[in-house]
Each structure stands twice: as structure tokens, then as C-alpha cells.
Amino acid sequence: MIRRCTPSDLQQMHAAINDAAQAYKGVIPDDRWHEPYIPMEELEAEIRDRVVFWCLEEDGQLIGVMGIQDKGDVVLIRHAYVRTSRRHGGIGTQLLKHLEGLTTKPILIGTWRAAIWAIDFYERNGYLIQSRKETDRDLRRYWNIPERQIETSVVLAKSAEGAANQLIQPTS
């Protein structure tokens, strides 16, 4: 079941995110890695900053978590995480499609340039890698991240049309 997260999900969200984030260990720049990757205070700050989190729940367990943040002219997909043991089962795709269905605005996603599996995942879902110039501009405009993260990140985008088309495509 995909549903919106509630305050009582916080512990499980934190656990699922940090389990999934192990994928970054040894891949992203060492100076950006820390454990837990997302401390509870940072997760709470993101919620206060209006990242709306959704989750895929199975038997009372949060298996995947994904956030969406309205930035006016665009929306951002933030913090996409599926538990390590459940990857490649279509959960990330289900969550992403669900969030895409909540908006008709252009969608931007930022990720580590070294996270090639994530870039691949988004490209397969119809997102296009932005140029270095567009990436820098968008990260500065819509995100609040340190300069070092800007240098080592990439932004992917899907047009509003793309998102709207998805809404009218029949499900197979």
C-alpha cells in the first residue's frame, strides 16, 4: 500500500532511509559520507521544510520512502529510498509514478553524480540529465545544499507534459 507518511512513521522512515543509503558508502565522495547518512534532526527539518513523504508499506513495515517538495514553478522529488533487501522489485518505480501523479508541474530530481544506478533508474523512468550549467542553476535555485554537494551532483528533469501524459496512460 502506498500512503502518505504520518508523524508516527518517523522512526521507520529514518530506518528505511538509512538502510537504503548504505548504497552510497564508498561511492559518493568520502567527505560527504557520514553515518547515519540522514540524521533524525535532518529528516525532521526536511518535513518542516515541506518535503511531503510517501511510503510503500507492507505488513506494517515501511519498505520504501519518497518525498515530494513543491517549489512553485517546479516540484522536486526528494529522498528516494528503497530498503536494500527489496531493491529491483519495482517499489521505487511504483513510488515514483505515484508522486508523478500528484503534480502536473515539471519535476526535478537531484542525485549524486556517482550514483549511476539512481541516474539509470530515473532515465528509464523518462527523466533527462540536465547540462552542468542547468544543474548548477537548479541546485542553487531550488535546493539548499552545500557547494561541495553541488559540484558532485546532477539534476534530472521531466517535463510537465511528460508527467501529465503519465496520468492518462492506461496501466498494463
Binding-residue pattern over the window 76 to 115 for ligand COA, x denoting contact by CB under 6 A: ----xxx----xxxxxxx-----------------x---x
Binding residues for ligand COA restricted to 124-153, rule: CB under 6 A: 124
Closest to ligand COA by CB, 12 or 93: 93
Closest to ligand COA by CB, 112 or 163: 112
67 binds ligand COA (CB under 6 A): no
DSSP 3-state assignment of 48?
helix
Q: Return the number of other C-beta atoms located less than 10 Å from residue 10's C-beta.
A: 15
- Using alpha carbons, list the distances in angstroms from residue 136 to 18, 54, 63, 168: 27, 27, 32, 33
Closest to ligand COA by CB, 80 or 157: 80
What backbone phi and psi angles, to 5 degrees, belong to 52?
A: -95, 115
Binding residues for ligand COA restricted to 19-58, rule: CB under 6 A: 20-21, 23
CA 137, CA 106: separation in Å to the nearest integer? 15
Binding site for ligand COA (CB under 6 A): 20-21, 23, 80-82, 87-93, 111, 115, 117-118, 120-121, 124
